[in-house]
A and B are shown apart, each in its own frame.
Chain A
Amino acid sequence: MNPAVIQVENLVKDVRPGLGLRRKRVIDDISFSVQKGEIFGFVGPNGAGKTTTMKILMGLIRSSAGRATILGHEVGETAFRNEIGFLPENPAFYDYLTGRELLNFYADLSGVPVDQRHERVDLLLSWVGLSGAADQRLRSWSKGMLQRVGIAQALVHDPSVVFLDEPMSGLDPIGRKEIRDLILRLREEGKTVFMNTHILSDMEMICDRVAIIVAGRLRYLGRIEDYLRSERNEVDVTLESVSPEFAVMLETRYSVELRGVRDRIEFRLDEKHVGSLLRTALQTGARVVSVTPHRPSLEKVFLTAVEEAAAADQATDTTKGWWQ
């Protein structure tokens, strides 16, 4: 097993929403680790604590309890940070600089040797498709261009661990595809990617493992495939020329819900019954049009986690007395 690049143990963050107001727990005892070379997705609804977790990892805010390390270093340390690249959510940059000046500035801060800086900046500008606008000031750039230069600054010093907070935000479908490809290229180069995103389809396509965080608590952690495999495997079946008797048998024996127009019916049933059902169907003269495995999406996993969290919160609320 690869060594853990990011290690988070029992992380807690309490914040005071305003002067005199009670402290609120925004991160509640979360633990996870990210292995070398992994693309790790951190998913959750707005206000779940994703960005707070990332800010703790970046040393921008301090945790109230627990511990977090990156490459074996405490997140509060600074010396190792040339091994880290970070794209914040809705990134803001010095808009009086040109794209090239900005990347040179970050390269300078990250200790990129002067003789490699020019080449590295040009390479990054071409990776994110900004070579043509490199000498324009950021003031005149669109949100998508700022997002791209944000990704470029996170990679300008060739870090081994990259943190991306909503990297697809503000990008059109082509831009999203390009960034997805870029992230996959990072994995091929052996880099570790930790990303927050709301766009579940992107995450499903590129992440090796995901953590679902809802209301500050970790609700799921693991490979997407493992979760989907643990779900009941079902198939969608479409048949034609089905006799009324066979249709009744389907409803009674397999408890399926039939949908159909004229003599074509569709239904979903457990994968283990498919063999016997299809044999019976063919024997009764029915024609099999299609048999498609039904695969639950990450969206379903996500929504289930959110619903479970909401239900758990409601249950906790009802057990509390008026004095609590």
Chain B
Amino acid sequence: MTALVSCGAIARNTVREALRNRLMYGIFTVSVLVTLGSVAISTLSYVEGTRIMQDLAFASMRMFTVGTAILLGINLLHREVERRTLYTILSRPLSRTVFLLGKYLGLVATTWLMLLCMAGVFGAVSVAAGAPIHMGHFAAVSLLAVEMWILVGVAILFSSFTTPMLASLFTISIYVMGHLSQNLLELANASSDPAVQRVGGWLHQLLPDLARYDLSIEAVHGLAIPAAAWGWPVLYAVLYSSLLLVFASGLFGRRDLR
């Protein structure tokens, strides 16, 4: 019970920190401008205007949510250790795992809040531009939110043992490779070398399969989204992010806070 209260307090404080960070408002403002810009760009086409607008707006939503997760995630633990704000917290009756979990949940909530605001802008702009809004859009935004469980977990894992610079490099690499992991597997399978096939298979298993969290094409084109298309990814995200947190907690728990 105490651990839950502490975890909640850390998470709430992480959200509060983000809400009082001007950078967040800067990111949100730029994302709104890009979404509004997508309306202007969509006018260049006579036939696919609304689709182009929603495509661009979705891409902007993804880019800025991912950017927020990486930007805040890579600094999450490092800054606490560097500035020694951690000392007075870890001397309380809470374990490092609870602290890490609180930070994780707080950052996930922050990215969700950001995503919610951007989705609101997306909805408003779509309605104003006469573009349709349907369940596919909700599914796509929801899966992007679920993808943040994994991405924030990756950022925190690297933040638990390395510098923000390296953590950002690793997290961005994992994000990009995660979206290409299916392609990596197909590429490896196309090779005649069994060793390449094996390595491709391992990488596919090891890297998060993030491509399945991108339903923007289905949403924008109004294609049917089966329940399995977002049911399995949710389960996968729960398992994958749990594993990431276990590793991050193991690494962070062993660290000497000198």
- Bound pair (A, B): yes
- Give chain A's interface residues, CB within 8 Å of chain B: 15, 55, 58-62, 78-82, 84, 86-88, 90-94, 96-97, 105-106, 108-111, 150, 153-154, 163
What count of chain B residues pass the 8 Å CB interface test? 25
Q: How far is the CA of A97 from the CA of B90 in the complex (A)?
A: 18
Say whether A81 contacts B91, CB under 8 Å: yes
Q: In whole angstroms, what is the CA distance A126 to B88 when docked? A: 21
**Cβ contact of A81, chosen from B5, B10, B21, B93, cutoff 8 A:** B93
Given contacts A61-B256, A79-B93, contact A111 B88 (CB under 8 A): no
B21 touches A55 (CB 8 A): no
Instruction: Write out the residue numbers on chain B whose beta carbons fall within 8 Å of the beta carbon of A86.
Output: 87-88, 91
Whole-angstrom CA separation of A90 from B88 in the bound complex: 11
Chain B hits for A92, CB < 8 A: 83-85, 87
Tell me whether B17 and A81 are in contact (CB under 8 A). Answer: no
A154 contacts which chain B residues (CB < 8 A)? 88
Minimal beta-carbon separation of A114 from chain B (angstroms): 10
| In the assembled complex, B134 has its CB within 8 A of some CB on chain A | no
Which A residues lie within 8 Å of B91 (CB)?
58-60, 81, 84, 86, 163
Q: Are A94 and B85 in contact (CB under 8 A)?
A: yes
Cβ–Cβ < 8 Å partners of B17 in chain A:
94, 96
- CB neighbours (8 Å) of B195 from chain A are none
CB-CB contacts below 8 Å: B1-53 with A: 2, 5-6, 9-10, 13, 16-17, 20-21
Q: How far is the CA of A96 from the CA of B83 in the complex (A)?
A: 14
Contacts of B9 in A (CB 8 A): 105, 108-109
User: Once the chains bind, are A61 and B258 in contact (CB under 8 Å)?
Assistant: yes
Q: Which of B20, B93, B256 contacts A96 (CB 8 A)?
A: B20
The answer to whether residues A111 and B5 also contact, given A61-B258, A91-B87, A91-B88 and a CB cut-off of 8 A, is: yes
Question: Can you pick out 30 interface pairs between chain A and chain B where the beta carbons lie within 8 Å of each other?
Answer: A55-B87, A55-B257, A58-B87, A59-B90, A59-B91, A60-B87, A60-B91, A61-B257, A61-B258, A82-B93, A84-B91, A86-B88, A88-B87, A90-B84, A91-B87, A92-B83, A92-B85, A93-B85, A96-B16, A96-B17, A97-B16, A105-B9, A105-B13, A108-B5, A109-B6, A109-B93, A109-B94, A111-B2, A111-B5, A154-B88
A residues less than 8 Å from B95 (CB atoms): 78
Which residues, 78 to 102 on B, are CB-close (under 8 Å) to A? 83-85, 87-95
For residues 60 through 91 of chain B, which have their beta carbon under 8 Å from a beta carbon of chain A?
83-85, 87-91
User: Would you call A150 and B88 a contact (CB within 8 A)?
Assistant: yes
Task: Please report the C-alpha to C-alpha distance between residue A55 and residue B87 in the assembled complex, in whole angstroms.
Answer: 9
Q: Are A58 and B256 in contact (CB under 8 A)?
A: no
Q: List chain B residues, Cβ under 8 A from A78.
A: 93-95
Point out the residues of chain A lying under 8 angstroms from B84, CB to CB. Answer: 88, 90-92
In the complex, A71 Cα to B84 Cα: how many Å? 26
* 8 closest A-B pairs by CB: A86-B91, A108-B9, A61-B256, A81-B93, A96-B20, A88-B87, A60-B257, A109-B92
Alpha-carbon distance between A153 and B85 when the two chains are bound, in angstroms: 12
Compute how far the CA of A87 lies from the CA of B87 in the bound complex, rounded to whole angstroms: 9
Known: A92-B84, A105-B13, A111-B5; 7 extra A-B contacts, CB below 8 A, are A55-B257, A61-B257, A80-B93, A82-B92, A90-B84, A92-B87, A109-B9
**Contact residues in B for A81 (Cβ distance below 8 Å):** 91-94
For residue A58, give the distance in angstroms from its CB to the closest CB of chain B.
5
Q: Which of B13, B85, B87 has the most CB of A within 10 A?
A: B87
| A62, B256: Cβ atoms closer than 8 Å | yes
In angstroms, how far is the closest chain A Cβ from the Cβ of B93? 4
Please state if A106 and B92 are interface contacts (CB–CB under 8 Å). Answer: yes
Q: What residue in chain A is nearest B99 (Cβ atoms)?
A: A109
B92 near A94 with CB under 8 A, answer no
Using Cβ atoms and an 8 Å threshold, which residues of chain B touch A94? 13, 17, 85
Q: Using A93-B88, A108-B5, A109-B9 as known contacts, say yes or no to A55 and B93 having CB atoms under 8 A apart.
A: no
| A84 CB, min distance to chain B CBs, angstroms | 6
List residues of chain A with CB within 8 A of the CB of B92. 81-82, 106, 109-110
What's the nearest-Cβ distance from chain B to residue A65, in Å?
Answer: 15
A47→B154 CA distance, assembly (Å)? 37
When distances are taken between beta carbons in the complex, the residues of chain B under 8 Å from A96 are: 16-17, 20-21
Least distance between A51 CB and chain B CB atoms (Å): 9
A153: nearest residue on chain B (CB-CB)? B88
The answer to whether B90 touches A58 (Cβ under 8 A) is yes
CA A97 to CA B84, docked complex, whole Å: 16
Contact B257–A110 (Cβ < 8 Å): no
User: In the docked arrangement, what's the CA distance between A94 and B89, Å?
Assistant: 11
Q: How far is the CA of A80 from the CA of B93 in the complex (A)?
A: 6
Q: Which of B2, B10, B90, B93 meets A60, CB within 8 Å? A: B90
Q: Is the CB of A15 within 8 A of B2?
A: no
Q: Which residues of B contact A59 (CB under 8 A)?
A: 90-91
Considering the chains assembled together, what is the distance between the CA atoms of A183 and B17 in angstroms? 33
Q: How many angstroms from the CA of A173 to the CA of B69 in the assembled complex?
A: 46
Contact A111 B87 (CB under 8 A): no
- Complex contacts, B94 vs chain A, CB 8 Å: 78, 81, 109
Query: What is the bound-complex CA distance between A92 and B13, given in angstroms?
Result: 16
Nearest residue (CB) in A for B2 is A111
Q: How far is the CA of A62 from the CA of B257 in the complex (A)?
A: 9
**Whole-angstrom distance between the alpha carbons of A89 and B87 in the complex?**
10
